Amino acid sequence: MKKSKILLLAASALLVASCGKSGGGGRPEFGDNEYPVLTVGTQSAAMQTTYPATILGVQDVEIRPKVSGFITKIFVKEGQTVSAGQTLFEIDNQTYQAQVRQAQAAVNTAQSQVNTAQLTYENSKKLAEGKVIGDYELQTAQNTFESAKAQLAQAQAALASAREALSFCYVKSPSRGVVGTLPFKVGTLASGSNVLTHVADISQMEVYFSVNEKDMLRFGQAQGGAAGALAAFPPVKLKLADGTVYGHEGKMAAISGVIDQATGSVQLKAVFPNPEKVLKSGGSGTIIIPNDQSDAIVIPQACVMEVQNKMFVYTLGKDNKVKYTEITVDPQNDGVNYVVTGGLNVGDKFITNGITKLKDQMEIVPITPERYQQKIKEQAKAMSAGDIVGAMQKK
């Protein structure tokens, strides 16, 4: 007998629970048209907004050769940290060395011609002073000397160009950073169209994300413009691809002044420190922007119905008749409650349970949520085994 009572109590509890679940839509059959009602108030709400983001180093440089040739040496490994000016690759430079030697020889020849022309000119000046030669001969010697100096300058410029071309055979890093992948091996013919690798400075990471024009206007209007919005942004967090939250907070650094016409969005940039080198350039994540509200209207999601992407609740009028009321909510939520942004005011009353049994302008008997829960318990105790079986058969 004792065992039967235990089973009866368990069955009744399960039945009552099944009647009251499904997002607050179900309610026990009280038979007296009673529904729980709450009055709208305000409270603090710790909300957050998330945006997909792309992670890049503060400087992410493509390394391309300025000259064409076969790769003869690779001085670094993937993932190696390099300094600015460090040599990464060597391109076959035999041809360029020959060009430097040829240009040097041309400089030597031009220098000799300058020396000869200078001696001739200086001798001509002495002869002209002694009236041995005329002005014509002196001017000719001077012109020859000036022409020789010009040819020397031209040869020196060619030598500098040849040396610069030779230096291009040694591909160096323009900045400090970490070496990316090395798709080309020794012996590969490389040219300026080939990206030999990337060098990314990942001491700090720039995280780019986009917000729609509406949100950007809301940020700007609340803070007196884009500059004010940037200064007022709280520290942001970064959720990584594996779902974990990055251990360091970031700071908003820039807001684009141009709206992308294709997407209608504005790009923002946050900067995160990366001392442990956890973040990698080219990675992805999710920016988390906290949005703490001190006087927010918060209601349970269980008392809200969604119809064709619109949200509705049943509010209670002074005549105890319910009204099918559309509301707007913050799209970001915690999965339990909504922050109402429109449609409800402080002091309004709304029904919390049994909303699927309501109809617009239906008259009800309002009770408190506490009394509602008490009646559930009373009904569970009062139900007989036959009542439970009958109710289960109806379901």
pLDDT in tens, 104-127: 999 999 999 999 999 999 999 989
Average pLDDT, the chain: 84
β-bridge mates for residue 89, sequence order: 74, 171
Q: Which domains does the chain have, with CATH numbers?
A: 17-40+304-394 (2.40.420.20), 94-167 (1.10.287), 202-278 (2.40.30.170)
Q: What is the pLDDT of residues 134-147, one digit of tens each?
A: 889 889 999 999 99
Q: Which of 86-100, 326-340, 352-366 has the lowest mean pLDDT?
A: 326-340
Q: How deeply is 6 buried, as exposed, middle or buried, from its count of CB atoms within 10 A (0-12, 13-18, 19+)?
A: exposed
Which pLDDT score is estimated for 114? Answer: 95
**Residue 215 CA: distances (Å) to CA of 79, 222, 254, 330, 338:** 39, 11, 16, 12, 18
Q: What are the distances in angstroms from CA 386 to CA 11, 16, 114, 298, 390?
A: 11, 15, 123, 41, 6
Radius of gyration in angstroms for the set of CA atoms belonging to the chain, rounded to a whole number: 41
Q: What is the pLDDT of residues 336-346, one digit of tens each?
A: 888 898 999 99
Would you mind telling me the total number of residues written for the chain in this entry? 395
Where is 50: in which H helix or E strand?
strand 43-63
**Which pLDDT score is estimated for 220?**
60
* pLDDT one-digit tens code per residue, 63-99: 999 999 999 999 999 989 999 999 999 999 999 999 9
Q: What pTM was computed for the model? A: 0.55
Whole-number pLDDT of residue 15 = 40
Burial of 107 from C-beta contacts in 10 A (0-12 / 13-18 / 19+): buried
